[in-house]
Chain A
Amino acid sequence: MAKQNLHQTFHEIIERHKGLLFKVTRTYCGNEEDRQDLIQEIRIQIWKSLPKYDAHFAMTTWLYRISINVAISFYRKNNNRTYFPVAEKLPYVFDAHPNNLQEKFNLLEQFIVELNEMDKALIMLYLEDKSYQEISEIMGITISNVGTKMGRIKEKLKKRFLTHKEN
Chain B
Amino acid sequence: MNDTDLKYLWKTGNEQIAIGQTSDKTNLDNLTKRNISHFLSSMKPIKIFTLFVGMLWVFGLGYVLIKLTINAYEQVSPYFLYSAYFQLMLTAIAVILYIFQLITLYSIDFDKPVINLQKTLINLKVSTLNVTRILMLQLPFWTTFYWNESMFKNGTLALFIIQGTVSLSFTYLAIWLFFNLTFENADKWWFKLLLQNKEWEPLITSIDILNDLEEEVASEKD
Contact = CB atoms under 8 A, between A and B. Distances in A.
Interface stretch (B53-61, B82-90, B105-113, B140-148): B105-113
Contact of B9 (A53, A92, A105, A139): A105
B18 interface: yes
Interface residues of A, number: 65
Given A74-B39, A92-B16, A154-B3, A14 B110 contact: no
B38 A72 contact: no
A68 B114 contact: yes
A127 B38 contact: no
A70 B42 contact: no
B167 interface: no
A161 interface: yes
Interface string A1-45: 000000100110010001100110010000000000000110111
A19 B11 CA distance: 11
Contact of A139 (B18, B31, B40, B114): B114
A78 B198 CA distance: 11
B206 A76 contact: yes
A121 to B, nearest CB: 6
A154 B4 CA distance: 12
Interface string B15-45: 0111111011110100110101011101000
Contacts of A22: 14, 18, 21
B78 interface: no
A116 B114 contact: no
B158 interface: no
Given A11-B28, A142-B220, A145-B220, A116 B208 contact: yes
A106 to B, nearest CB: 8
B39 A10 contact: no
B170 to A, nearest CB: 33
Contacts of A117: 209, 212
Contacts of B13: 94, 101-102, 105, 108-109
The 3 closest A-B pairs by CB, nearest first: A140-B113, A105-B13, A127-B10
Interface of A: 7, 10-11, 14, 18-19, 22-23, 26, 40-41, 43-45, 47-49, 52-53, 62, 65-66, 68-70, 72-74, 76-80, 90, 92-95, 101-102, 104-105, 108-109, 116-118, 121, 127-129, 137-142, 144-145, 148-149, 154, 157-158, 161
13 contacts: A11-B25, A11-B26, A44-B36, A70-B110, A72-B114, A73-B40, A79-B205, A101-B13, A108-B13, A117-B212, A127-B10, A149-B219, A157-B6
Given A139-B114, A140-B116, A149-B216, 4 more contacts: A76-B209, A77-B42, A92-B19, A101-B12
